[in-house]
Amino acid sequence: MGKVKVAAFSISLDGFGAGPRQDRQNPLGVRGLELHAWFFPTCVFKTMQGLAGGTTGVDNEMAAQSFENVGAWILGRNMFGPVRGPWPDDSWKGWWGDEPPYHTPVFVLTHHARPPLTMKGGTTFHFVTEGVESALQRTQEAAQGKDVRIGGGVSVIRQYLVAGRIDEMHLALSPVFLGEGEHLFSELNLPGLGFRIVRTVAGENATHVLLARH
């Protein structure tokens, strides 16, 4: 069975993984896009957008590695869309257009059932209402021996950390202070959860910190 990992997850210097007041205009919260400024210039991001060019340095290499050997994803509902409460209809199909960047099965944690949504490029969204353990079991089965990547948001990562289900994390530490928002590590004891830093890599626009649970 593959690993359960968090990869290329951007956080601020003061530990926030998203800004406050997430909505359709600010899907990552107010100023949340600043966390990902390291990623946007890369060749990996440009290719995801159907564009040519992009940087090919360390940041790009770390972004590319985050997609390697991923067989399925887990996302929180906010990562899929801004709709709250019961789904009014099936019109919202995610932030990414007709061809999302996942190209694998994606399991979305939600309290409200919805039929699976098949998109172009091999992505199918499955909506899981039975909680984090059920989502992980289904995702591992779908991954067929490859890794499961937990894409976020912050609350989803925290739940899997507390449950002791994450094997490794790659955090992209962006040189910005948010001051408010969703804090990734508030009241969590990472050494107590078994994590240690195994590698630190200086990129062009972020510092990449790799942690593993031993």
**Who contacts 205 (Cβ-Cβ below 8 Å, separation ≥6)?**
37, 38, 41, 59, 174, 175
What's the pTM value of the predicted model, to 2 decimals?
0.95
Per-position pLDDT tens, the chain of length 214:
899 999 999 999 999 999 998 888 888 999 999 999 999 999 999 999 889 999 999 999 999 999 999 999 999 999 999 888 999 999 999 988 899 999 999 999 999 999 999 999 999 999 999 999 999 999 999 999 999 999 999 999 999 999 999 999 999 999 999 999 999 999 999 999 999 999 999 999 999 999 999 8
The sheet with strand 117-118 has its strands ordered as 117-118, 124-128, 105-109, 70-76, 147-152, 4-11, 168-173, 207-213, 195-202
- Give dist(CA 36, CA 53) in Å, integer: 18
> Which residue ranges make up each domain of the chain?
4-87+95-208
* Residue 121 backbone class (left: φ over 0; alpha: ψ -120 to 50; beta: rest): left
> Could you tell me the fold of the domain covering 4-87+95-208?
Dihydrofolate Reductase, subunit A (3.40.430)
Calculate the CA dihedral of residues 142, 143, 149, 154 and round it to 10 degrees.
20
